[in-house]
Chain A
Amino acid sequence: GIQVEQSPPDLILQEGANSTLRCNFSDSVNNLQWFHQNPWGQLINLFYIPSGTKQNGRLSATTVATERYSLLYISSSQTTDSGVYFCAVILTGGGNKLTFGTGTQLKVEL
């Protein structure tokens, strides 16, 4: 099956710092989503981005589908950004099944 690897697995930042999270996937996809999972387990949609670049406030994302990777940029990080960030993909021809990556655990400190 498709492999989805995220890096780094863990990240500790000082408030105000910037960071880049990476998602590599092993096969052609027609859906890629980034999620933030808060401490209560809720998965919050950040971006739907099978290709191209999008921005939403302090967050932006880029997916280069031909090279099979996606990047999530967090600028001016805040303590509320803490949690686990997942990318998830749907394989081309894979119906509606999301395959999640390994996750990046982010902690933002004062």
Chain B
Amino acid sequence: DAGVTQSPTHLIKTRGQHVTLRCSPISGHKSVSWYQQVLGQGPQFIFQYYEKEERGRGNFPDRFSARQFPNYSSELNVNALLLGDSALYLCASSIYGQLRHEQDNEQFFGPGTRLTVL
């Protein structure tokens, strides 16, 4: 079975530009979350989407936005890029939802997109 997939793998942008990152969850998973990991730190939560609705948002500026599609894949958009946006962007999927089983909120991560802003 395929795991969580993300594209692109690497990306180089300049300040002020816009970027779109993509994520496909594990088949059967309806929740997608996005995390930002800067060098030397643990991942920080950005967004969670479930059934195409935003269910959680971390402490990130409005330049960050996301959406989830009917097939449960997701996009993360970042506008007006800053040097400080350079990071590894990770996508995680989980069953979530009704939590019929305790382990339904276990999250599985994709390989990440490494964004460099020059």
Contacts and interface: CB of A to CB of B under 8 A. Distances in A.
B58 interface: yes
B105 A90 contact: yes
B112 A96 contact: no
Contact of B111 (A30, A42, A101): A42
B72 interface: no
A100 B42 contact: yes
A60 interface: no
A57 B68 CA distance: 37
Contacts of A103: 41-42
A103 B103 CA distance: 23
B55 A95 contact: yes
A98 to B, nearest CB: 6
A99 B90 CA distance: 14
B45 A98 contact: yes
A96 B31 contact: yes
A73 interface: no
A33 to B, nearest CB: 7
A3 interface: no
A33 B50 CA distance: 20
Contacts of A42: 109, 111-112
Contacts of B42: 86, 88, 100-103
Interface of A: 30-31, 33, 35, 40-43, 45, 48, 50, 86, 88, 90, 95-103
12 contacts: A31-B105, A41-B90, A41-B111, A41-B112, A41-B114, A86-B42, A90-B105, A96-B31, A96-B107, A97-B33, A98-B35, A100-B44
